[in-house]
Chain A
């Protein structure tokens, strides 16, 4: 495998819960991200999937150092961001950009496309002021928008076009990694296809690494090289995208895969579906042992005792389940 550009080691992000007005008492901890080890290679697309509340967005924010890390290290190109000063983190963010889910909320309605795209160029003094308009036009072309729309405001664009603006903004500083947090969930199917094609093409063309967060497994399978499945702040399965989604090993991944409705009536009606009982437990008070055991159809006594480690299923895949191979 090529050298990793981003390396996370045992990253934990916990949020304290305090009660009381003057004398705050510490009453609990939300373990949003709880020991994630992960690496991203140059030019790789890593898919990150899981249900709402499993910590995938918090993990994205932790990588960007938008929330303080409780423990562990985030190393970008050899630089440890968790130990870095504010200036160092700011400099590193040039290489680490984000695209958010809702293009209606992530663009400033009072800024034209030009203002939005020129701002990062000015802040980071990427090019002389005179070259900014040319650079903005180039960025717009890169994402398939006509530069003549430069002076328009976000409300004049459709959802798909707005998402293109958001992607152009992320590309403005020529980052090495883009983190896309559910970038197509808010879009219609036909528009979703356009944005997915664009992201895939950009990664290929610019040798970009992409961390693609989504809950739609068919989208993730389509775009990713590798997939990490998260449950309650932990990675439960990690491996090549096709392998993980077509031959899932962890019981949670199996349930997740079987829950996706297939657009094919004969297949859809004949297959066996694993319907998980209940909701995911609270990350404030996760179950002891394997935190999936209360919902797991394969759970045995041993699963309640100790937290399972990530076990290598083969050369490329790791699974957090002690019954790996038995089930």
Chain B
């Protein structure tokens, strides 16, 4: 059985200017030890999906309208606070984009680092500190015995993200949710952190949900990828299928707009128009107004995510009906 199964999750934000459907019917599952990448641009709902699972959506204005998120048999969206406390921070951990704002500037690293242990495990403070020290060493912080007593501002950005990872992994979680953990970092530091996440995943055998907008990061790290647009999953596949034979026009458009995949100096492909207003969900495909292949029926007919091959699902009506062949990317080997 899958470790986490999310079914028909709908999260919306009720604001003065209307109801914004940030997540609009998202279903997916994560197996033990697997790495799932969630890709999308700002406002596509990739972060809100994970915040909903973790119970971090502020309510109000947010509201989880429907759905279930079964983690090892417990529905995280409808369980008692006590059940959720026993899971969050212990069996499911999360790291965030900006390590400066997610660490408490008033507390020593040691205090924040061992807090999950003191809460979740019946452990004495000296023992917890010993475990904290080991955790810092495991994430590659030199001179950990000295550094553990410092405050977050005394660390660089990459070091802070290491502290965050150490803190998230100190209870040996089964699932780690990483929300753009390297976006605020330099490429060389990003490379260090990605290697670290891979290593910790191997050591602990945990599953990882990796949220990012960077297709490059996904290609090296993830087993499966799902692409989100306007609060929905538009395509899901294993990483090779998604990169080498995408079926949804949005996935292909995203790839074509990355300079790294284009010959130097060639004009980059751009997606015309803007993402739709989430307060007015369209009847048909949300990408249709910007899609170069869209027909009248794309705008009129509701479209579902449908499996077209084992493990490969997409939500493009024309491709599902066999009318659309998107050219293969030439990079596959």
Contact surface of A with B, Cβ cutoff 8 Å: 51-52, 158, 188-190, 192-194, 196-197, 200, 215-219, 221-223, 241-242, 255-256, 258-269, 273, 275-276, 279
Contacts and interface: CB of A to CB of B under 8 A. Distances in A.
Contact of A219 (B158, B259, B274): B259
10 contacts: A190-B253, A190-B254, A197-B268, A221-B259, A261-B191, A261-B220, A262-B219, A264-B261, A275-B192, A279-B159
B137 interface: no
Interface in B48-107: none
Nearest to A198: B270
A220 to B, nearest CB: 9
A190 B265 contact: no
**Interface SS of chain B: helix, strand, loop or mixed?**
helix
A261 B259 contact: no
Interface string B251-266: 0011101111110110
A192 B219 contact: no
Contact of A263 (B157, B190, B195, B258): B258
Contacts of B190: 259, 261
Q: Which of A221, A255, A260, A279 has the most CB of B within 10 A?
A: A279
Given A189-B213, A264-B331, A197 B243 contact: no
A244 B231 CA distance: 40
Contact of B270 (A197, A241, A259, A268): A197
B267 interface: yes
A279 to B, nearest CB: 5
Closest 7 CB pairs of A and B: A261-B216, A222-B259, A218-B260, A193-B268, A193-B257, A268-B220, A259-B191
Contact of B188 (A189, A259, A265): A259
Contact of B220 (A222, A269, A276): A269
B150 interface: no
A146 to B, nearest CB: 14
Contacts of B269: 193
Interface residues of B, number: 47
Contacts of B41: 188-190
B243 A264 contact: yes
Given A193-B268, A268-B220, A215 B239 contact: no
A262 B240 CA distance: 13
B215 A263 contact: yes
Given A51-B186, A222-B262, A268-B220, A190 B156 contact: no
B267 A275 contact: no
Contacts of B254: 189-190
B220 A265 contact: yes
A275 B187 contact: no
B244 to A, nearest CB: 8
Contact of B260 (A51, A200, A263, A279): A263
A263 B240 CA distance: 11
A13 B285 CA distance: 54
Nearest to A273: B191
B186 A264 contact: no
B214 interface: yes
A241 B264 contact: yes
B183 to A, nearest CB: 10
B191 A263 contact: no
Contacts of A263: 215-216, 218-219, 243, 255, 258, 260-261
Nearest to B332: A266
Contacts of A273: 191, 195
A190 B257 contact: yes
A256 B186 CA distance: 10
Q: Which of A216, A265, A269, A273 has the most CB of B within 10 A?
A: A265
